[in-house]
Amino acid sequence: MAATPRPAGASGRTGRRVRGAPYAFLLPAVTLFALFFALPIGYALYLSLRKVEVKGLGLGRGARQEVWAGLSNYADALTDSQLLSSALRVLGYGAMVVPAMLGLALVLALMLDAERTRLSGFSRLAIFLPYAVPGVIAAMMWGFLYLPDVSPFYYLLDKAGLPGPNLLDGGPLYLALANIALWGGTGFNMIVIYTSLRSIPVEIYEAARLDGCSQLQTALRIKIPIVAPALVLTFFFSIIATLQVFSEPTTLKPLTNSLSTTWSPLMKVYQDAFVNGDIHAAAATSVVIAVVTLVLSFGFLKAANSRSNQGETP
């Protein structure tokens, strides 16, 4: 029986629908990206180029008017001593947090990947679980543990006749903040590294065992070099999270006078926008922070990629 011929225009319409299908699938993601990412960034850039001009006492209709400011807000942000001080504090904080977090995550991942490890599933869950706790709740919990009047640790130290350190004042404050970041972020980094370890072929371990390599030698000479890309990725994420630290110092601020309202750059943005009411200066500072984060991140990735390419060159 002869097949019924299809109309000439039907194949053309079907081809157009097939070619347009990928764009239809991408449309929801592009729409969400435009509404919740690109549009806010564009609006922040617009606000950063404006300022409020006050006439007279600032009273009455038309006394406060938004005018074009050009790059004056950026000049003020780059010469702001409070922003520079907050950036230096965050750099010191990151110098403590990032190496300790990645080192601990790597050690835990190697321990869980060892052959004789028991209850590895429960251990992974227990280590990762703090990451699921919101940063504000984690900071509140640790903040109360740092207070001598309510902390059980200070009670035990007092009963033992030992002095309790003041973790919310001076230099120990950095350790207190770093501890919260370590407690919450180590699990995530450990899961990333552990997943990379589990993807290593078993044949490599068997060859190392036949060559007489111990567990330590296998970890140092095989596992760590292979999971180097995962370490680069976790370092990248940790740098971004460090530069954007906000919840921990903001939550601990009511518990100590050692934390200023501009302790971190994002706290400075919050202070300008919602306390001082200068949304335009806050927008300019946000753009500066975003650009610095972008430059540092891409600079590090470029350096890591070039180092990796040099290592692969025979």
Residues 245-259 have pLDDT tens digits of 999 999 999 988 889
How confident is the model at residue 13, as a pLDDT? Answer: 62
The more confidently predicted of residues 47 and 6 is: 47
The rounded distance, in Å, linking the Cα atoms of 218 and 209 is: 8
For residues 24-48, give the mean pLDDT.
91
CB 288 within 8 A of CB 45: no
Which residues form the domain of 217? 80-277
Residue 51 lies in a domain: no
For residues 288-299, give the mean pLDDT.
87
Beta strand pairing call for 64-68 and 50-54: antiparallel
CB 181 within 8 A of CB 139: no
DSSP secondary-structure letter at 71? Answer: T
The rounded distance, in Å, linking the Cα atoms of 265 and 219 is: 39
Residue 283 lies in a domain: no
pTM here is 0.83
Q: At what angle do helices 172-198 and 81-113 cross, to 10 degrees?
A: 40
Q: Compute CA distances 285 → 74, 259, 282, whole Å.
A: 7, 20, 5
**Which range, of 190-194, 229-233, 278-282, averages the lowest pLDDT?**
229-233
Q: Where are the alpha helices (DSSP H) in 244-278?
A: 247-252, 265-270
Give the mean pLDDT of the chain.
Answer: 85
Find how far residue 58's CA is from the centre of its chain.
Answer: 41
Q: Is the pLDDT of residue 296 over 90?
A: no
DSSP secondary-structure letter at 67? Answer: E
Q: What angle do CA 133, 242, 31 make, to 5 degrees?
A: 75
The more confidently predicted of residues 53 and 8 is: 53
Instruction: Return the biggest CA–CA distance within the chain.
Output: 100
10 pLDDT tier (thresholds 50, 70, 90) = low
How confident is the model at residue 192, as a pLDDT? Answer: 93
How confident is the model at residue 53, as a pLDDT? Answer: 78
**Which range, of 14-28, 72-86, 193-207, 232-246, averages the lowest pLDDT?**
14-28
- Report residue 56 as tokens: 């007279």
Residue 7 lies in a domain: no
Residue 134 lies in a domain: yes
Residue 136 lies in a domain: yes
**302-312 pLDDT, tens per residue?**
877 776 666 55
Split into its structural domains, the chain has a count of: 1
Matching residue, tokens 């157009």: 16
DSSP secondary-structure letter at 259? Answer: S
The rounded distance, in Å, linking the Cα atoms of 289 and 291 is: 6
How confident is the model at residue 162, as a pLDDT? Answer: 84
For residues 48-56, give the mean pLDDT.
81
For residues 111-136, give the mean pLDDT.
84
Find how far residue 272's CA is from the centre of its chain.
Answer: 22
Residue 97 lies in a domain: yes
Q: What angle do CA 308, 310, 311 make, to 5 degrees?
A: 65
Residue 59 lies in a domain: no
21-30, 54-63, 190-199 — which one is most confidently predicted on average?
Answer: 190-199
| CATH number (domain holding residue 196) | 1.10.3720.10
The more confidently predicted of residues 137 and 305 is: 137
Residue 131 lies in a domain: yes
The rounded distance, in Å, linking the Cα atoms of 140 and 254 is: 10
